[in-house]
Amino acid sequence: MHVILYDEGTCAALRVAELAEELARVAGVEVEARGEFVRHWATAPGKDACATTARAGGRTHGSAPTTVEGLAKALARARVVDPMSRLQPEREPTAVEIAAEQRVLDTPGRAAVGILYDGAVAQWWMGEWMEGAEEGECHILLTARLLGTFMPDDHRWHAHTVLLGEPALISTTGLVQAPARPREYYQGQGLATTGLMPREVVEAELQQRLADRMLLPDDPRINAAALGCALQAIAFHVTGEAFCEEPTCRLYNARRQEELIRSQCSEDAGLCERHDALFRGLREGRRG
């Protein structure tokens, strides 16, 4: 099995070579690190072909991009502009939004900051961008983009650490922001709203006090958490099953930061019996 990692170069704590080596060891698969996703596929055959209609989540979202400029417009359209309503497919992005996305795509290491994207739509267009990918390959993109899905039960967008599928998208921003932080963090944030202390001072104090209970931006533990997400992506690629119910398994879908740290970064982190058997089979198959 061939696994391909892509990295935008936007997270200083991410050590991709180390991640690829550890992923190959644990999962028993061949891992290739290809660098930046958009640039790799920009020169693939078929990029000048006629665009096809793109659909995601049962909704039509225009033509699949065949140029970097087209991808910039597609990603601008995937931006969530109203956190309380589902993305409107007919919304045309503004010139400012398109230009901002173009700058991110044109500048290696530049991140899209403070923006939530419809994860299903962004994932679809990334899949369309991989024109000519070989069947059976598992593609995993490490991105700083914050990806979410709209939940109709509470009419809110929820951010994610990973979106499984092809390609799988691991959000380094989501690893920090998506799982709920400790209650004390939100209580402390309330102090900043009173104006008694500057917000940046409150944030720095909370991060220092709660560092062992939540991931921070550019946290060295992000590599371990990304490894777990990559294992989730491989397991889904092989079995079609998402996540694990065992809280200490690396395939556990953590909803809280403390759960994420326990399942990915602690001494208890590992694989449950069922998923250990899955990856052991992949290792043995590769040796065979």
Pinpoint the alpha helices (H) of 213-272. 222-239, 257-264
Look at strands 168-171 and 138-143 and give their pairing. Answer: parallel
Tokens of 187: 């209580």
Instruction: Tokens 């533990």: give the residue.
Output: 221
Alpha-carbon gap, residue 249 to 140, rounded angstroms: 20
Q: Please give the structure tokens belonging to residue 30.
A: 């061949």
Percent of the chain with pLDDT over 90: 73
Q: Cβ–Cβ contacts within 10 Å for residue 34, how many? A: 15
Structural domains for the chain: 2-179+214-287 (3.40.390.10)
Determine whether 55 is exposed, middle or buried from the number of CB atoms within 10 Å of its CB (0-12, 13-18, 19+). Answer: middle
| pLDDT over threshold 50, residue 59 | no
CB contact at 8 A, 250 and 243? no
160: tokens are: 């994610």
- Name the pLDDT band for 52 (thresholds 50, 70, 90): very low
At 98-150, the pLDDT tens digits run: 999 999 999 989 999 899 999 999 999 999 999 778 888 999 999 999 999 99
Helix axes 68-77, 119-129, angle to 10 degrees: 170
From 23-37, 48-62, 236-250, the region with the lowest mean pLDDT: 48-62
Q: What does 102-115 look like in DSSP terms, one character per residue?
A: HHHHHSTT----S-
Q: Is 20 exposed, middle or buried (0-12, 13-18, 19+ CB in 10 A)?
A: buried
